[in-house]
Amino acid sequence: MLRKHYTQNNDHIRFGIVGCGAITKIAYLPFFKTSTMAKLTCLVDKDESVISAYNEHSNLRYVGTNVDDMFEYVDAVIVATPNYQHFPIAKTCLENGKHVLCEKPLAITSQECKQLISIAKKNQTKLTVAHVRRFYQAAKKTKNLIYSEHFGPIKSFEFEEGTIFNWPANSGFYFDKKLAGGGVLIDIGVHVLDLLLWWFGTRLRKVDYIDDNLGGVEAVAEINIQLSNNIEGSIKLSRLSILKNRYNISFENGWIEWNPLFPKYFYIYDYRKKTKKTIKMSNDLPVIDMVEDFIFSIKHDRKPLVSGKDGLQVIELIEKCYQVRKPLPLEWLKKN
Amino acid sequence: MELKNKKVFITGATGFIGGRIAERLWIDHGIKSKCLVRNFSRAARLGRLPVEMVPGDLLNRSSIEKAVQDCDVIFHCAYGNTDSLAINRHINEQGTKYLAEIALRNRTKRFLYLSSVAVYGPHPAEKITEETPTQFSNDEYGNSKIRTERICRDFHMKGLPVVVIRPTAVFGPFSPIWTIGAIQRVLVGGWERVQGVDGICNAVYVDDLVDSLLLSIKLDKAIGETFIISGLDTLTWNDFFAEYSKISGMPKPQSISETRRVLKSHLSSILRTGVHAARKFADPLIMDFYHRMKDAYPSLTRTFDSLIRGGIKKNEIEKFSWRTIYSIDKARRILGYSPRTFAEGMRITAKWLRHHQYT
């Protein structure tokens, strides 16, 4: 039996992080500085120059370049490497009986996702994906409003998310299809599609997809989706310009809207009362909530909010989009 | 020299003009360029193309050496844009020296340097040609371009097939100043017809500039030459910004007197100082309030934005009053350069602006 049972609340889960890039610095290291439920014991990065900066943190049990060397000191691993390394690293961790929180996307192909799910199941380890948007208060409120049918059945949806790409990327992996798995669709799109599937279920009837990829990876993508109950909607994503940045869902008796980049305010329009309401959401701490959800799932042996299967469904939808892809008609890019 | 099957290296390819060169080379000629990338955070546009991204900067000699060794053509568009003038100067001049040295050693067939009409200084004559002397001034951008041109010319004397291109105000998709900056300016009322301010705008559409660069490769007689590249039409800055107002659905820029402009400018300056000071102490609260107001009262916040932005500033008056015309006769004669009309360039630009939700 590889699984360890955590019966006492004061048991610390020992964590290792693989990949010491921007997301680790911005999101995960601050979490472990304050967490009372988990302890960071290992840091791994294949780049020695990156990892050498952490050598001074002598309270860690292992700081180095070899994933295998950390296993004796950890119960769970956060995989925060470039996309193409998610699968091999998560696989090794799961095979060694470690619980895995994998940065999004879970892997870059559905085959790889399925393998990870199967290994996690076999070894009775938890597998979750950093679909962090689910932990926004606004995302949860949206789900509740859909399921309570407060405004009646859904009529349509319109999601737009785009900012000018400025992620502090150290390498060009984001722009290499083999390494990243795609462009804006597998980057921001993972979050948007995960919410779509979480809110509406997976009853897809038809997907149309266009993007501006010219032989590299797409920076602008547009998806039209038809769900089996005749709900239609569109998704626009961009790395090149600031879009309206809104998730809008129309119901029979009203609409709701919020800005994914500024999810503090939640707007509701009720057709029956003819009123628009702005609800101020409580402060979001999505990364803390996500890692704590993962820790609870380990301690109490329950399903994390985002399962490996959720990660798989998003990748399957992305693969579907790429299969039906048509080029975005852009006059300024035409042959001169 | 024909471009077919040629290997190309581009510096500054994550920028506006370098990015368009990489696009045109791929779309029109099927060339997968090698592109020097200093900052991957800026590479999303370039990332759409099947280019080879070479990590490094102009001062990283070893990475350039390796990348350039089998290249026939170099487009040198990069320039230092840090906050330090000294660092920028070092990047521009030392970086160009390294690049030209490596190119000379590798017998590169064409070295195209993207300069600027800023080399003529801030007080240009009414008619400028390639024969007009360049002028050092207090504009360090223009000064650096003059020095870098000289480096390129020195290397030409040593045998490097250099062509220098001096574009005017380049507009079109992704132009940070003369398209994105211009539309953002008119959207907050940042342009007005000030009495007595009616200078000539020498605007050139980005694809015309790229055409001139590609023609400079095709024609061997371009080697060693310098070309001014501007657009077809002679129009004023008022015409230029009026077009952006039109495509953004904004009312025509208002005519105001110089006295009113000065008063507005003072008012906006006081408001700006007040807002900056307030944001220092209570930024989240103020921005929260601003976003809520923007949602509830968009026209009111637009008026406020316009007051904060102000119209034409004092230090811009002179620039927007010049009656200078940059001649493209030499480029027409030697390269067969034939730019499109301003209207055609703006037609495509307007579509791009709509697609990117600027309008």
List the structure tokens of A79: 């995989």
Q: Is the pLDDT of residue A2 over 90?
A: no
CATH assignment at residue A149 = 3.30.360.10
Chain A positions touching B50 (Cβ under 8 A) are 214-216
Residue A224 forms part of a structural domain: yes
Residues of A in contact with B43 (CB under 8 A): 165, 169, 172, 174-175
Give the CA diameter of chain B. 65
In a domain, B287, yes or no: no
Can you tell me the mean pLDDT for A148-173?
91
* Total count of residues recorded for chain A: 336
Question: Residue A255 corresponds to which tokens in the numbers above?
Answer: 């609409």
Same-domain status, A19 and A89: yes
Asked if residue A200 and residue A109 are part of one domain, the reply reads: no
**A172 closest CB neighbour out of B50, B53, B349:** B53
Q: Which position has the higher pLDDT, A244 or A202?
A: A244
The rounded distance, in Å, linking the Cα atoms of B354 and B282 is: 35
In the predicted structure, residue A8 carries a pLDDT above the cut 50: no
Contact B138, B111 (CB under 8 A): no
ipTM above 0.85, yes or no: yes
**Buried b or exposed e, range B80-89, using 16+ CB within 10 angstroms:** beeeeeeebb
Q: Do A164 and B352 touch (CB under 8 A)?
A: no
- DSSP annotation of B253 reads P
Q: Are strands B73-76 and B235-236 parallel, antiparallel or unpaired?
A: unpaired
Structure letter (DSSP) for residue A202: S
Q: Report whether B237 contacts B318 (CB < 8 A).
A: no
- What pLDDT is recorded for position A56? 67
Note whether residue B289 is domain-resident.
no
CATH number of the domain bearing residue A48: 3.40.50.720
Q: Are strands A262-270 and A254-259 parallel, antiparallel or unpaired?
A: antiparallel
pLDDT score for A3: 43
CB atoms within 10 A of CB B242: 17
The answer to the question of residue B86 being in a domain is yes
CB crowding A210-225: b at 16 or more within 10 Å, else e: bbbbbebbbbbbbbeb
Q: For residue A336, is pLDDT > 80?
A: no
Q: How far is CA A82 from CA A100, A105, B92, B198, in A?
A: 16, 10, 33, 53
User: Using the beta-carbon criterion (under 8 Å), do A169 and B41 form an inter-chain contact?
Assistant: yes
pLDDT in tens, A83-111: 999 999 999 999 999 999 999 999 999 99
Residues of A in contact with B49 (CB under 8 A): 214-216
Distance from CA of B187 to the nearest CA of A (A): 15
Assess whether A63 and A101 both reside in one domain. yes
Closest CA to B162 of B109, B124, B120: B109
Residue B193 lies in a domain: no
Residues of B with CB under 8 A from a CB of A: 23-24, 26-28, 32, 37, 40-51, 53, 55, 172-174, 207, 211, 288, 291-292, 295, 348-349, 351-352, 355-358
pLDDT tens digits along A161-194? 999 998 887 788 899 999 999 999 999 999 999 9
Instruction: With H, G, I as helix, E, B as strand and everything else as coil, classify residue A158.
Output: strand
Q: Is residue B244 part of a domain?
A: no
Q: Looking at residue A202, what is its pLDDT? A: 65
Nearest to A172 among B37, B288, B351 (CB): B37
Instruction: Give me the residue from B44, B49, B355 closest to A165, CB to CB.
Output: B44
DSSP for residue A54: G
A164 in contact with B, Cβ within 8 Å: yes
Say how far apart CA A123 and CA A117 lie, in whole Å: 10
Of residues A174, A183, A240, nearest to B40 (C-beta): A174
User: Are A126 and A153 spatial neighbours (Cβ–Cβ below 8 Å)?
Assistant: no
Confirm or reject contact between A240 and chain B (CB < 8 A): yes
The answer to whether residues A143 and A199 touch, using CB atoms and an 8 Å cutoff, is yes
Distance CA A75, CA A13 (A): 6
Does residue B276 lie within any of the structural domains? Answer: no
pTM of the model: 0.91
Q: Assess whether pLDDT exceeds 90 at residue A146.
A: yes
How far apart (Å, rounded) are the C-alpha atoms in residues A270 and A256?
9
Residue A7 counted as domain residue: no
Is residue A171 packed enough to be buried (19+ CB in 10 Å), middle (13-18) or exposed (0-12)?
middle
Could you tell me which residues are beta bridge partners of residue B205?
B171
Q: What stretches in chain B show pLDDT beneath 50?
A: none
Q: Say whether A206 sits in a helix, a strand or coil.
A: strand
Q: Per the structure block, which two tokens stand in for A245?
A: 């940045």
Q: How far is A28 from chain B (nearest CA, A)?
A: 21
Q: In chain A, which residue's Cα lies nearest the Cα of B56?
A: A171
Q: Are residues A189 and A240 in the same domain?
A: yes
How much of chain A exceeds pLDDT 70, in percent?
96
Residue A204 sits in the same domain as residue A234: yes
> A306 vs A15, A39, B42, B147, CA distance in Å?
19, 22, 32, 58
Q: Which residues of B220-341 form beta strands (DSSP E)?
A: 226-229, 235-236, 255-256, 325-326
Average predicted confidence (pLDDT) for chain A: 92
Q: Is A122 in the same domain as A146?
A: no
Same domain? A208 vs A281: yes
Predicted pLDDT at A5: 46
Residue A282 CB neighbour total at 10 angstroms:
7
CA distance B177 to chain A (A): 15
For residues A86 and A141, membership in a common domain is answered with no
Residue B42, min C-alpha distance to chain A (Å): 6
Q: Which residues of chain A lie closer than 8 angstroms to B51, CB-CB?
A: 216
- Domain presence at residue B189: no
What is residue A1's predicted lDDT score, i.e. its pLDDT? 36
- Report if residue A307 sits inside a domain: no
Residue A221 and residue A79 share a domain: no
CA distance A175 to chain B (A): 5
Is A54:A63 a contact under the CB 8 Å cutoff?
yes
Q: Count of CB atoms within 10 A of residue A200's CB?
A: 20
Query: For residue B44, which residues of chain A lie inside 8 Å, CB to CB?
Result: 164-165, 174-175, 183-184, 219, 239-240
How many separate domains does chain B show? 1
Mutate which of A178, A214, A239, A262 to disrupt the B interface (most B C-beta within 10 Å)?
A214
Q: Minimal CA–CA distance to B82: which of B70, B95, B91?
A: B91
Q: A31 with A103, same domain?
A: yes
Start-to-end CA distance of chain B, whole Å, equals 42
- The range of the structural domain enclosing residue B39 comes to 8-175+203-239+322-347
pLDDT of residue A138: 96
Q: A28 pLDDT exceeds 70?
A: yes
- Provide the pairing of β-strand A204-211 with A38-44: unpaired
Q: Which of residues 251-310 of A touch B (CB under 8 A)?
A: 262, 264-265, 267, 278
Q: Indicate whether A247 and A145 sit together in one domain.
A: yes
Residue B114: beta bridge partners? B165
The pLDDT score that the predictor gives to residue A76 is: 97
A163 lies in the same domain as A231: yes
Do B130 and B148 contact (CB within 8 A), yes or no?
Answer: no
**Residue of A172, A241, A335 lying closest to B357 (CB–CB):** A241
Compare B22 and A21 and report the one with higher pLDDT. Answer: B22
pLDDT in tens, A41-83: 999 999 888 888 777 666 789 999 999 999 999 999 999 999 9
- Taking one residue from A and the other from B, the number of pairs with CB-CB distance under 8 angstroms is 102
Contacts of B23 in chain A (CB under 8 A): 214, 333
d(CA A324, CA B350): 29
CA distance B115 to chain A (A): 24
pLDDT of A10: 58
Cis peptide before A105 (omega within 30 of 0): yes
* CB–CB contact B291 A171 (8 Å): no
The C-alpha of B44 sits at a distance from chain A's nearest C-alpha, in angstroms, of 6
Q: Which of B25, B40, B215 to mutate to test the interface with A (most CBs of A within 10 A)?
A: B40
Helix B237-247 vs helix B342-355: crossing angle, to nearest 10: 40
Q: Helix (H, G, I), strand (E, B), or coil: what is residue B53?
A: strand
Q: Is residue A312 part of a domain?
A: no
Domain count, chain A: 2
Using the beta-carbon criterion (under 8 Å), do B48 and A212 form an inter-chain contact? yes
- b or e along B64-74 (b: 16 or more beta carbons within 10 Å of the residue's beta carbon)? beebbeebbbb
Q: Which domain holds residue A202?
A: 133-288+317-333
Length of chain B: 359
Question: Is the pLDDT score of A7 beyond 50?
Answer: no
Determine, yes or no, domain membership for A8: no
Q: Is residue A311 part of a domain?
A: no
The enclosing domain of B73 has a CATH number of 3.40.50.720
Q: Is residue A309 part of a domain?
A: no
What amino acid occupies position A91? K
A316 part of contact set with chain B, CB < 8 Å: no
